[in-house]
Structures are given as C-alpha cells and as structure tokens.
Amino acid sequence: MKLYEWDFAPNCRRVRMYLIEKGIDVPKVECITPAIVLKEQFAQQYSHYMVPMLELDDGTQLGEALGIWHYFEALHPEPPLMGTTPVEKAMVSAWERRAYDEGLIGHAEIFRNQHPNFVDRGLPGHRQAVPQIPALIERGKLRVERFHQKFNQQLANNEFVAGARFSIADITMVTVCDFGHALQMAIPADAPHVQRWYDEMQKRPSVVNSRPTHMPDGSPMTAAA
C-alpha cells in the first residue's frame, strides 16, 4: 500500500491528519516536481491526474480524500471520525462539506488564479490548458469571508466543528485555516470562536505532525501555516 501525495496540497494533508488520528502508517510517495507539476510517471500511472491517491497492494487505486477516509473508516472504526449515530454522521458530513466547498475551494480559487506557476492550470486534474481567471480571486475572497462568518457562528456553541466530538469536519477546517495562513489570509478578528477552536487544535499531534514542510516555491513553511 502506498499514498501518493504532494506535501503542500491541502487535500493530501487532510489524509495525513486522518491517518495520524487513526494511528495508521502508510508509506508516502511525493509526486510533485520543483516546477510544481505532477511527475510524468504518476500521470501515466493514474488517469485522474490528482493527489492524493491510495494504491492498495492489489493495485486498486482510491482517489479523493473522502474516498480514502471511507476506506479506512470501514477497516478501522476506532476512534470514529465520521460519526456513529445517523444524526452524527449526517452532521459531520454536512459540516465537512461546508468547510470544503466554502473554505477550501474559496482559498483554492485565490491560489490557482494568482500563483505564477498555475498559469493555464486554473483547474486541477486537467492536462490541457485551463486559463486563470483573475475575477475568481475576488470571488474566492468573498467565499472565504462568508466561510469564516458561518463557522464562527457554529463554533460559538460547539467545542468541535460538527458538535461534541473531533471529526473529519475539524480535519478539513484545520486544513482550510492553514491554507489561508499560507496565502497570508489569517483568521479574521471578527471570528473569535474560530480562533479559539484553532488554538485548541494546535494541541493535537495530528495537526502539528501533518503540516506541510515547504511552500510551493520551495521556501520553508512558517510555523503559523
């Protein structure tokens, strides 16, 4: 079994954090070149041309953080990270999806449409040219602003994102906030409950030990990111 990834990629970090929480060790293969392009060998190996990808011993390829989570959750249900009761499972799924759609994709719109290495790479998983759209940078900023407001309200009355228990919703949320730090977009001052929650998350080994080591340009990642 191998986990193909890019150290900086938020979606890869979501899987790393999950595996640490579960106490599962999977060999990892870095798939990015210094030009921030997926290696050709990986491109030939995996038609979806995206990381993370988990390759099982029999050659089965599992893509997307959510798919990889489901695989390991079925094999290793303890500790539960995707809910246990029907209501808890629904709440975790809903809040994880909100964190992904509004937070992670919002930051990704900013990153992919302004980073010089992503010219003609406006969408992931495409080998043909997809031009950057500068207008999406401002739209992404609006999505991020709305994201912080919504999650600040949710965390005002909850210890964790989806309620009383740490879950994949917190994993995605941590990844989103640190992606924002990497883009010089800190948690805003008008989101104190997000900041309280984020400070508590820094005590978890999975948060500290899953952090990327380098920015896309190769410079060391700062402690805040």
Are 164 and 201 contained in the same domain? yes
Are 121 and 177 contained in the same domain? yes
Last residue of a domain, one of 43, 75, 107: 75
Are 90 and 49 contained in the same domain? no
What is the structure's pLDDT at 217? Answer: 67
Give the pTM: 0.93
Are 28 and 93 contained in the same domain? no
Query: Is 221 a member of any domain?
Result: no
What is the structure's pLDDT at 125? Answer: 80
Q: How far apart are the first and last CA of the chain?
A: 29
Domain that holds residue 49: 2-75
When divided into structural domains, the chain yields a total of 2
CATH classification at residue 69: 3.40.30.10
Are 92 and 41 contained in the same domain? no
Are 24 and 50 contained in the same domain? yes
What is the structure's pLDDT at 167? Answer: 98
Query: Is 176 a member of any domain?
Result: yes
What is the structure's pLDDT at 225? Answer: 40
Query: Is 217 a member of any domain?
Result: no
Are 100 and 160 contained in the same domain? yes
**DSSP letter for each residue of 13-72:** HHHHHHHHHHT----EEE-B-TTS-B-HHHHHH-TT--S-EEE-TTS-EEESHHHHHHHH
Strand pairing report for 28-30 and 2-5:
parallel
3-state secondary structure of 157: coil
For 116, which DSSP code? G
What is the structure's pLDDT at 140? Answer: 94
Are 150 and 194 contained in the same domain? yes
Last residue of a domain, one of 32, 47, 75: 75
Are 38 and 96 contained in the same domain? no
Are 22 and 71 contained in the same domain? yes
What is the structure's pLDDT at 162? Answer: 98
Q: Identify the segments of the chain with pLDDT beneath 70.
A: 217-218, 221-225
Q: Contact, 17 vs 30, CB < 8 A?
A: no
Query: In angstroms, rounded to a whole number, what is the distance separating the alpha carbons of residues 16 and 172?
Result: 11
Nearest in space to 51 (alpha carbons), one of 7, 96, 93, 112: 7
CATH classification at residue 199: 1.20.1050.10
What is the structure's pLDDT at 222? Answer: 61
Which residues face 160 on adjacent strands? Answer: 163
Query: Is 222 a member of any domain?
Result: no
Query: In angstroms, rounded to a whole number, what is the distance separating the alpha carbons of residues 170 and 25?
Result: 21
Q: Contact, 46 vs 124, CB < 8 A?
A: no
Last residue of a domain, one of 18, 40, 75: 75
